[in-house]
Amino acid sequence: MALSDPGGILASPFTIINCQGDMADVAAITDIISQQQVKKIIVGLPRSMDGSLGKQAEKVKIFTRKLCSHTEVPVEFRDERLTTVSAKRLVRDANTRKAKSKVRYDAIAAALILQGYLDEKH
């Protein structure tokens, strides 16, 4: 998960939610939405390289519908193709200590997805 600054300019990795079942995950996300005063949710949609929606994208859509039933915050989907590859490259190119240890790329990929959205809106 990633969050932006209050001005909606810069996205940063925030946390990783370890899947514990849909309802527990929805509760964790809605808690963060409330605590961080989130005004919009951007959901990465895993499209196939040809742009089609596969099984994983359908799972994301089903989960997002469950999330939407527990929050009034608007939700928008964003193509997430190659964001994990980009996150790995970004960490490798930064050549930091974290690049040498085990890194969870999910939050970095989430920040890349959110940053792409923010860049398009500004």
Query: What token pair was written down for 15?
Result: 């946390």
Q: Taking 90 as the threshold, does the pLDDT of residue 43 lie above it?
A: yes
**pLDDT at site 91:** 67
**pLDDT at site 86:** 74
- Among 78, 3, 80, 75, which residue's Cα sits nearest to residue 41? 75
**CATH code for the domain of 51:** 3.30.420.140
**pLDDT at site 99:** 46
* Helices (H), ranges, the chain: 22-35, 55-68, 83-94, 97-100, 106-121
- For 90-99, the pLDDT digits (tens) are 767 676 555 4
Residue 39 lies in domain: 2-121
CA separation, residue 113 to residues 15, 70, 76, 101 (Å): 14, 23, 12, 23
How many structural domains are present in the chain?
A: 1
Query: What token pair was written down for 91?
Result: 């960490």
* pTM, entire model: 0.81
